[in-house]
Amino acid sequence: MNLFASFQGLKELKVGFIALGLALLLASFAAGAELKSSADTASISCREGKVFVWVVNDASEERLVAFSAQFSGSLGLNGFFEDEFVTAPAKGAKGTYLHFRAPDNMRGAEDVWIRAQITSSVGSVNEIRQKNLRVFITPCKEQGYYINGTAKGPFYEGPRENGEGTQIKSYLTFASYFDPTEYDVDFLGATTGKNIAAGDFARFKISLANRGAAGTFDLKLIGDKEAVNAVLSNNYVSLERGGIQEVYVDIQPSRNAGTGRYWVTVQAIRNFVVLAEKDVYVDVEDKFDAELVLPESIKTSACGSTTVTAKLKNTGSREDSFILEASEFASLAPTELGVAAGKDALFSISIDGSKAGVGTRSLVIRAESVNSPERKAFEKTVSVQSSACAGEENVLINKNEQDALVKLFVDVENPFDTALEGVTVSISGLPKDWTYSAPSGVSIPANSKKTIEVSITRGSDEGIKNAVIEVRSNSRVIATKEFSVEPRASGLTGFVTLALSQNTWLIALIILIALLVVVLAGRRRFYPDSQEDEAYKKRLENMRKTIEK
C-alpha cells in the first residue's frame, strides 16, 4: 500500500512538473511584447485628436514594430501615425502618436482598431498585437432644420378644407445639412525637427485636412529654404469637404551650409489669404567624410618597384586633414593631406616588389580624419599582382671575339607588364688583368626586348675560365647566365688569324709572294751557281726580315 502511494506521489509530481513547464512556456510567449495606449476612449469636436500608442518589448533583443489602424468608416473618421515604423529596444518600449479627425458635421462614436506587427531583426519572430480605441465625435455647429428649402424651426401645418369639402393634406418635411461656405484647413501633426549632416537628405511628411468648404489650396514654402535647399512635393492640393492629403518637404543642405538650426514654414493659401501654417526645422551638423579613388589593380615584379597615382576626395562639409597609411609592402607620399570640402588631392603609392613577394596580395590604404571628433577613418583595398623575376631564359648572349677585344651582345627580355628601370650588366669570373665596359641605367619597356653591348679587353690568358653575366634592375638581380671566353690563338696560326682579322686580302697577297719565292729558291738549287745562290739567299733573308717586322 505504501508502495502504491509512493507511485501515485511520483506520478502527481511528474504531472506537476509538466504543468509548470507549460505554464512557463506560455508565460514566455505572453511576455514577448505588449501593445498599450494612453487612452481607451477619446472625444473630438471640430479639432484633431491624438492618442499615444507604444509597444513594450520584454525580449532580450530589439524588435521591429509596424503600426497600422483600421477605422470602421461609419462617420468618416480618418487619421495617420507620426511614425509607421519604430524599433523597440531589448527590455524597453517605443511608440508614436496616432492623429485622427472627423468631418465637422458628424456626431456619434466610431471604433478604431490599432494593430502592431512585431518582428525580430532576423525575422524569426512574427507577432501581432491589437487594441481597440473608441472615438466620440461631436459636430462643430448645431444643424439647422429646413422645410421646402426655407430655413425654419420645427413646424407643422394641419389639413385645410377647400371648396366642396375637398380635403388637402400637407406633409411636414424636415431636412438637415451642413455645407460650410467658408474655407478652413489645418496641418496635422506636431512640430517636427531632425538632426542632419550637411549634404545629407531629410524628408518631412505633413497632412493637410479640410474643415471647411471644398476647394483648391495653394502651398508655399518660406523661411530658410534657400539655405537648406528645401522643396515641396506639391504646389497645390484639391480637397473635398472633410478631405485630407499628405505633402512632403524635402531638405538637403549643401556641404558648405553652416551648422545650426534652420526653419522652413509651409503655408496653405486661398485667394491670397494664408489659412494655415506648419513649421519644420533641421539642426545641421558638420559632416566628415572622404573617398579613396585607387586603381582597379596594380601589377609589379618581385625584382622591382612600381609607383602609381591615387586620389583622396573630401566629401565632407568642411576642410579636413587626413593621415595616410598603407600595408607594410607599400609606401605613400605624402603621408598627410589637407583637402578643402568638395575637393580632392593626389598622392603616390610605391610597391616594393621584394616585400610583396610573388602572387596576388591585397593592399589596404587608410585615410584618417584629423578634425573629426571620433577620428573617423576611411579604407579601401586594391589588388596587387606581383610576378616572378626574369630567369636565365630571359637573357641571350651573342659573342664576337677579336683577339684582344671581345664584344658581347646581351639581349635582355622584359616579360612583365611594367618597365624595367636602371638595368645594368656586370661580369664576374674574368682574369685579373681583363677589363670590361657596359652602359648603365638602361630602361626596358614592358613586354619588350633590348640589346646591351658589353666590350671586354683581354689581358693574359692566365687563369681564364667561364665567366658569369649578371643583369640587374635598380640593384636587384633579375637574371644570371654563364658564357665561355676562349684563350687567345698563338704561333703562325695565331699570326694568320690576327692578320686575317685586320686585313685579309693584303696578308694573303704577301703570303702568296713568300710561297712563290720559296718555290723559285728550291728550283735554283738544281742548277748550282755559287754567286747566284749567294744573292738569292740574301734576298730571301731580307724578305723574311721584312715579313717578320
pLDDT per position as a tens digit, 20-62: 554 444 444 444 688 999 888 888 876 778 899 999 998 888 8
Average pLDDT over residues 286-298: 89
Separation of alpha carbons 438 and 448, rounded Å: 20
Say what percent of the chain tops pLDDT 90: 19
N-to-C CA span, the chain: 147
Separation of alpha carbons 317 and 319, rounded Å: 7
Q: Are strands 320-326 and 359-369 parallel, antiparallel or unpaired?
A: antiparallel
Give residue 548's pLDDT.
Answer: 55
Separation of alpha carbons 213 and 183, rounded Å: 5
In the predicted structure, residue 347 carries a pLDDT above the cut 90:
yes
Give residue 172's pLDDT.
Answer: 43
Separation of alpha carbons 453 and 129, rounded Å: 89
Length of the chain: 549
In the predicted structure, residue 311 carries a pLDDT above the cut 90:
yes
Give residue 321's pLDDT.
Answer: 92
Separation of alpha carbons 332 and 309, rounded Å: 10
Q: Is 418 exposed, middle or buried (0-12, 13-18, 19+ CB in 10 A)?
A: buried
In the predicted structure, residue 314 carries a pLDDT above the cut 50:
yes
Q: What pLDDT digit, counting tens, does each position of 366-400 carry?
A: 999 998 888 889 999 999 988 766 555 566 777 77
In the predicted structure, residue 522 carries a pLDDT above the cut 80:
no
In the predicted structure, residue 360 carries a pLDDT above the cut 70:
yes
Give residue 25's pLDDT.
Answer: 44
Q: What pLDDT digit, counting tens, does each position of 400-448 carry?
A: 776 678 888 888 887 776 677 788 888 888 888 888 888 888 888 878 8
Q: What pLDDT digit, counting tens, does each position of 184-207 carry?
A: 888 886 567 888 888 888 888 888
Give residue 28's pLDDT.
Answer: 45
User: Which of 474, 301, 475, 304 has the alpha carbon at shortest distance from 388?
Assistant: 301
Give residue 30's pLDDT.
Answer: 44
Separation of alpha carbons 445 and 132, rounded Å: 81
Residues whose CB falls within 8 Å of the CB of residue 348, separated by 6 or more in sequence, listed in order: 307, 308, 309, 310, 332, 333
Q: Which amino acid belongs to residue 504? A: T
Separation of alpha carbons 362 and 386, rounded Å: 11
The angle subtended at Cα 53 by Cα 51 and Cα 55, nearest 5°, is: 175
Give residue 308's pLDDT.
Answer: 92
Q: Which amino acid belongs to residue 459? A: G
Average pLDDT over residues 5-10: 47
Give residue 258's pLDDT.
Answer: 79
Q: Greater confidence, 374 or 518?
A: 374
The Cα-based distances of 88 to 34, 83, 94, 120, 194 in angstroms read 11, 13, 5, 10, 20
Q: What pLDDT digit, counting tens, does each position of 146-185 carry?
A: 333 343 444 444 444 444 444 444 444 444 445 556 788 8
**Four-residue CA torsion sign, 464, 465, 466, 471:** negative
Say what percent of the chain tops pLDDT 70: 71
Looking at residue 489, what DSSP letter applies? P
Angle between helices 530-548 and 491-524 (to 10 degrees): 160
Count of beta carbons in the 10 Å neighbourhood of residue 549: 5
Give residue 381's pLDDT.
Answer: 93
Give residue 385's pLDDT.
Answer: 85
Q: Are strands 273-285 and 192-197 parallel, antiparallel or unpaired?
A: parallel
- On average, the pLDDT of the chain sits at 76
**E runs forming strands in 72-214:** 78-81, 85-88, 92-101, 108-120, 126-137, 144-147, 150-151, 160-162, 166-168, 175-177, 185-188, 192-197, 202-210
Q: What pLDDT digit, counting tens, does each position of 451-495 carry?
A: 888 888 888 777 677 788 888 877 777 777 777 777 665 433 333
State which of 255-259, 339-343, 397-401 shows the largest mean pLDDT.
339-343
> What pairs with residue 115 in β-bridges?
68, 130
